[in-house]
């Protein structure tokens, strides 16, 4: 990873209908997303000029739209779709780490959550 600077969006909460089981598709559940993008932030840091920055609000909008617009059986596929959409929307982003957490995963756990994490570099 050449970029040492990061945009970080943690604990983004969404309600969705992703999952392989019919109950997940019918009832839905909460999901939490932790997202980190690696890029060079030196220009906006020096200039204080929004036009030189990647807006974390715009990144959030892409994440939210991708989460909401397509239903996925696997959270791995959801995460990859978000990665692809963010890379397409923001050419300055060089790397992405995304974790999707599913606290109500349909397994008999008393506490905790199921999660996946992807790390991708721009192709």
Question: Which of the residues are catalytic?
Answer: 102
Q: How far apart are CA 21 and CA 29, in angstroms?
A: 12
Burial class (CB within 10 angstroms; exposed 0-12, middle 13-18, buried 19+) of 85: middle
- 83 SS3 class: helix
Which one, of 115, 120, 118, 107, lies nearest residue 32 by Cα? 115
Q: How far apart are CA 48 and CA 89, in angstroms?
A: 22
Please list the residues that pair with 38 across neighbouring strands: 6, 95
């Amino acid at each position: 990873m050449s970029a040492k600077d990061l945009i970080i969006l943690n604990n983004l909460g969404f309600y969705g209908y992703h999952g392989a089981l019919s109950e997940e598709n019918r009832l839905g559940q909460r999901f939490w997303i932790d997202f980190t993008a690696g890029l060079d932030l030196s220009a906006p840091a020096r200039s204080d000029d929004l036009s030189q920055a990647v807006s974390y609000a715009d990144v959030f909008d892409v994440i939210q739209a991708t989460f909401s617009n397509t239903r996925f059986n696997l959270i791995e596929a959801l995460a990859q779709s978000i990665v692809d959409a963010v890379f397409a929307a923001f050419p300055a982003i060089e790397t992405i780490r995304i974790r999707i957490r599913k606290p109500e995963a349909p397994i008999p756990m008393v506490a905790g959550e199921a999660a996946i994490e992807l790390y991708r570099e721009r192709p």
